[in-house]
Structure 1
Amino acid sequence: MRLFKRFLFGSAATLAVMGAAHAADLPVKKAVPIEYVRVCTAYGAGFFYIPGTDTCLRISGRARYEAGYQTSYSRQAGSGGDTSGYRGQLRINLDARTQTAYGTLRAFARLEAASRTGTIHSGTQLRIAQAYGAVGVDERGRSQQYVNVDKAFIQFAGLTAGRASSFFDFYAHDFEFYGATAGSDNSSTNLLAYTATFGNGLSATLSIEDPVFTRSPVFAPTGSTPAVSPVYVGYADGIPSRFGNVDSVQRSRLPDFVAALRVDQAWGSAQLSAATHEINVGNLSTAAAAGAGGVLTGIPHTNSVQGWAVQGGVKINAPAISAGDALYLQGAYAKGGQMYIGYCMVAGCYAQANSGWDGQKFNQPFADATINPFTGQLQTSAGFSTVASYLHYWSPEWRSALFGSYGELDFARSARLAQGALFGLLNPNGANAFGSSAVGVPGTRFYQLSEALRDTYQFVVGGSLIWSPVSDLDIGVEAFYTQVGVKSGRVIDSDKSPTAYANVAGINSGAFVPRTATQDSLTQIRFRVQRDF
């Protein structure tokens, strides 16, 4: 037994020695060092180095809930009739920066998505492909999903390239929930810009911007899509010989050119902006002329015109009243570019005419231009807007804002007269094929009451109260009142007289007396809970 134990112990010792010797001959693998995420302090709080690179990244975002209520006057067929709406929204921001020999290289991206229903759904976003609507019986026109690449730009050595806010914008509804005031706040656009800095907070920017997001449709009385505007061509032996058609859908040829001069200092900021905007439509129809006297020569192609806009704004910090207080003042004027004055913000943009709420008594026209039906040439609209907004901190946790705006949009008197003359030639028996875009024959009762190409005004006044019990959490409510109206005369009340535009002859003869209005108004309230991170 003792001999057997000695044998076992000896064998184990031999194996252990042999294993150790063999292990000594194997290559030793060192553990890969763990690269921990390092904080980047060069660009402010929240940045960290992307492992393995010298690029600093900040990830941030937002979650938001909103509920809204607005007055509604109509339950007629085809009208929404909603008084409430809801929204859940997310936002994700990625901000990447690298220090180079030429300065900071930056890339910024922002993705937004939302589910919206009722009065908070947006026809404006549908029209520019940033949302898609539901198709259910009870959901159509009341529910939509919203997806938007709001920002995706690169900044390097003064260059900005990508999708970003227009350099024309200044106030851009900084203190508002809804963004109801009439002021420039265009949807983010695709641009290429260069900014030169001169020291002491002074900078100048030249920007080439995508014109698609600053267009309002050229007036076409048919209201069809694509819009087709009848154009009178000529006479043969004193008889109207034919009417051609002009395709009034705008083409993309020249970009918008934007210039801005800006100063940012301790007292606040100020900016002067200017923009050009080409209006370029399609060709005249080549349909053959008919009538006694033979074939007539058609009018020439509609020449493009350059719309333009100018804006001035100032932001004044008021720490003497309370830390964080600030006042914005802004004014803008445009000819052939109403998107730059933000006149359509309440009613909804990218439409020839629109109403901002269910049961509104009449549509507001927003056309950048009309095509004269006798010359075939463009006549631009003109408008202006003014905005004031003040933010006050009652305490670090409580703040409120007051805001208001006033604006007008006017059309050339000759433009409306020409469209009215065409209406009479195309409707000798008083029949109306144009709906609410019909102008009517000058001198008739219908012409006096038609909403098409009427000069209008609007004003908005509102305020908000926001509680921030902890950092980056806002719980608040906003309410605003807006009024729209015609600058002279009266218009048909489409809510109270929905069949009026199908009774042109009856209106002119006095057999049909429509209800009329000079203005309409709306009150809206929104509640918001928002967390930024």
Structure 2
Amino acid sequence: MKLLKGSLLGSAAAFAAVGAAHAADLPIKKAAPIEYVRVCTAYGAGFFYIPGTDTCLRISGRARFEGGYMTSFSRGSGNGDTSGYQGRMRINLDARTQTAYGTLRAFVRLDAGARTGYSGVGQSGTQQRIGQAYPGLGNDSFGRDSQFMNVDKAFIQFAGLTAGRASSFFDFYAHDFEFAGASAGSDVASTNLLAYTATVGNGLSATISVEDPIYRRTPIFSPYSVSVTPNVGGVAVLAVTNQPTPVFITYNTRGLPTGYGYVDTIQRTRLPDFVGAIRLDQAWGSAQLSAATHELNVGNESQASGQPIRPIAHTRNTQGWAVQGGLKVNAPFIAPGDALYLQGAYGEGAQLYTGYSAFTGSYTQTTATIQGQKFNQFFADATVNPFTGQLQTSQSFTVVGSYLHYWTPEWRSAVFSSYGEQSFSQNARAAQGVASSLANIGGSLAVGAPGTRFYNLSEALRNTYEIVAGASLIWSPVKDLDIGVEGYYTQIGVKNGRVIDKDKNPTAYSHVAGINAGTYVPRTVTQDSVSSVRLRVQRDF
């Protein structure tokens, strides 16, 4: 037994020795080397090479809190709020690769946030109208709560080409020194475009850009809104389906209009907007001249049945246009970082290129940001002449100035002011008045028959002006952290005559247009105003 046990142990030892000898002859497998992220210095701080590629990437972003206050003098339906709040986030991805043709760049920016409060401080009706914000439907949140989501940037740049979603090349100042962006001026940060920029040299460049017209549209004037109101969660939701505008199609033997049809004034998309810009960038600052064309194109005229019809030509498309000049002057001789912006714009049939509706709200022909607003501004790019069925464009212009001053490296202030006007030709308003009288249109969208008191006091298609003035104070205790407050004052007014005060007399329009037209004396005004304050805490990284 002892002999057997010894033999087995000896055999095991021999096999172990042989195995060890063979193992010593086998190649040793090495672990794959770890590829560490390398810093890329070619494009500035924050870039690194994407492992396994020659592409440099920078990841950055922002977190923001904002609270606001706006005076309110009305506690009527939908009114009475004075405060609003929002939390915002931003993520940026900037990828660059050096090629034989220069730098190939792709840039992506995603903005999102949660907003509460009424439009003007908290949630944004403008963003809802273009599908970038989504309203809550609860009893207490409807009209006061929205989630915000926007692919703000997604573009490619290569050899002078810019393609994708980017800021309009028409814009210059674009509310650079402001929180709320309430001053009158063009600021379309997100649009779809295809552009080419030629660098002439010595800081001079020229750009031609083909841009999406949707983000520059202000509705054609319509006295009606045919809508559906589905019941969603117990709340009626307004959804505009089309906006018909009356046009005369029947006349009596004396040549006077007796009947009318309608033009569908929802705009069709055919031509893009064409934008051209010449820009100069120097150590002293920048200057830019830009111009744009903007097509206005509506639907057919629908003829009324059972009447002798006078043929009317299809409403022809019309080219709106706008021009803008801007100047930025750096002022380090006052304090490092100081700068002055000056800008002016004029447009016909292109209100969003001049940015006259920046405070009140865009993508609507009339709206009110001030709670209990006494009268509404009208922003229509054009009206349809009821006698010819053809478009008549409106005119608008804006001027803005803004100055940023650094008191110390940690403390800075901005002051800004703007003035703007939008006008409709006198014969366009009178023609609309004849149409609204014949079609028996009532309410504040009606112009009224020329010569009547209603016509003289109605707000529809009145020429208006707007003044904005404000200032801010910002503290940056550490790099990339801003804590600031901004206050601004806004006044809107009619350029001539008076209009009905809808806040003090909410039923005045029905009285002035109805059986009491000869005796009823409504309250009237020439202007309205409001003050706003915003607090912001923002961290960039």
Question: Which band: TM-score by shorter chain?
Answer: over 0.9
1:365 equivalent among 361, 378, 383? 378
Deviation at 1:76, TM superposition (A): 1.2
Is 1:133–2:128 an aligned residue pair? no
Question: Are 1:235 and 2:251 matched, yes or no?
Answer: yes
Quick check: 1:80–1:141 contact (8 Å CA) kept in 2?
A: no
Per-residue CA shift, 1:121-155, capped at 9, x if unaligned? 10000000001000000100000000000000000
**2:407 paired with 1:384:** no
Measured in 2, the distance between the counterparts of 1:471 and 1:502 equals 58
Q: 121, 146, 149: which is aligned to 2:148?
A: 146
Once the two structures are superposed, the pairs formed by residues 323-334 of structure 1 within 5 Å of their partners are 323-334=336-347
One of 333, 353, 376 as aligned partner of 1:340: 353
Q: Secondary structure, in 3 states, of the residue corresponding to 2:23?
A: helix
In the alignment, the residues of structure 2 paired with residue 187 and residue 513 of structure 1 have an alpha-carbon distance, to the nearest angstrom, of 46
For residue 230 of structure 2, what is the aligned residue in structure 1? none
Q: Secondary structure at the match of 2:302?
A: coil
Give the equivalent residue in structure 2 for 1:445. Answer: 453
Gaps of 5+ in 2: 227-239
- In structure 2, C-alpha distance between the alignment counterparts of 1:170 and 1:65, rounded to whole Å: 26
1: CA distance, partners of 2:320 / 2:203: 31
Aligned to 2:37: 37
Cα distance in 2 for partners of 1:80, 1:61 equals 35
Q: Map 1:371-410 to 2 at 5 A.
A: 371-410=384-423
Between 223-232 and 518-527, report the one with greater CA deviation. 223-232
Structure 2 match to 1:430: none
Q: Deviations over 1:314-363 (max 9, x none)?
A: 00000000000000000000010010111001100000111122111111
Q: Work out whether residues 506 and 512 of structure 1, in 8 Å CA contact, stay in contact via their aligned partners in 2.
A: no
Deviation at 1:186, TM superposition (A): 1.7
Tell me which residue corresponds to 1:19: 19
Aligned pairs for 1:194-205 within 5 A: 194-205=196-207
Q: Which amino acid aligns with 2:181?
A: G
Residue 25 of structure 1 deviates from its aligned partner by: 5.8
SS in 2 for 1:503: helix
1:187–1:213 contact (8 Å) kept in structure 2: no
1:11-410 correspondence runs (5 A): 11=11, 13-24=13-24, 26=26, 28-77=28-77, 79-119=78-118, 120-224=122-226, 225=240, 226-238=242-254, 240-290=257-307, 295-410=308-423
Structure 1: gaps of 5 or more residues: 428-432
SS at match of 2:364: coil
For the 8 Å contact 1:460–1:481, the answer to whether it is kept is yes
* Residues 456 and 485 in structure 1, CA contact (< 8 A), matched pair in contact too: yes
* 1:436, distance to aligned residue in structure 2 (A): 1.2
2:534 counterpart letter in structure 1: R
> Following TM superposition, by how much is the alpha carbon of 1:305 offset from its aligned partner in structure 2, in angstroms?
0.6
AA matched with 1:21 = A
Identical amino acids, percent of aligned pairs:
69
- Asked if the contact 1:241/1:289 (under 8 Å) is kept, the reply is no
On the 8 A contact 1:85/1:118 being kept in 2, the answer is: yes
Structure 1 residue 506: deviation in Å?
A: 4.2
Q: Deviations over 1:63-104 (max 9, x none)?
A: 000000000111112x33210000000000000000000000
CA shift in 2, pair 1:91/1:415, >3 Å: same
Q: Secondary structure at the match of 1:126?
A: helix
Q: Normalized against structure 1, the TM-score is what?
A: 0.95
Partner of 2:237: none
Separation in 2, partners of 1:531, 1:19: 64
Where 1:17 maps in the other structure, the secondary structure is helix
Rounded to whole Å, the distance in 2 between the matches of 1:259 and 1:208 is 9
Amino acid at match of 1:264: D
Indicate how the Cα distance of structure 1 residues 507 and 370 shifts in structure 2: closer, same or farther if over 3 A, else same: farther
C-alpha deviations, 1:360-388, integer Å up to 9, x for none?
A: 11110000000011110101000110000
1:31-76 superposed Cα distances (whole Å, 9 cap, x missing partner): 1111000000000000000011000000000000000000011111
Shift of 1:21: 3.3
Opposite residue 480 of structure 2, the aligned amino acid is D
Give the Cα–Cα distance (whole angstroms) in 1 for the partners of residues 445 and 505 of structure 2: 16
For residues 87 and 423 of structure 1, the distance between their equivalents in structure 2, rounded to whole angstroms, comes to 42
User: In structure 2, what residue type is equivalent to 1:80?
Assistant: N
* Cα deviation, residue 503, structure 1: 2.4
Q: Is 1:502 matched up with 2:510?
A: yes
RMSD in angstroms over aligned alpha carbons?
Answer: 1.7
1:528 is matched with which residue?
A: 536
Following the alignment from structure 2 to structure 1, what is the Cα–Cα distance between the partners of residues 468 and 408?
27
- SS of corresponding position for 1:40: coil
CA 1:486/1:380 → structure 2, altered by over 3 Å: closer, same or farther? Answer: same
- Give the TM-score normalised by structure 2: 0.94
Question: How far does residue 233 in structure 1 lie from its aligned partner after superposition?
Answer: 1.4
Q: Indicate if the aligned counterparts of 1:507 and 1:513 stay in contact, CA closer than 8 A.
A: no
Distance 1:319 1:8, change over 3 A: farther
Write out per-residue CA displacement over residues 243-272 of structure 1, whole angstroms, 9 at most, x where no aligned residue: 110000111000000000001110000000
Aligned residues: 523
Q: Does 1:488 align with 2:516?
A: no
Residues 256 and 277, structure 1, Cα contact 8 Å, conserved in 2: yes
Structure 1 residue 29 displacement after superposition? 2.6
- Is the 8 Å Cα contact of residues 260 and 303 (structure 2) preserved in structure 1? no
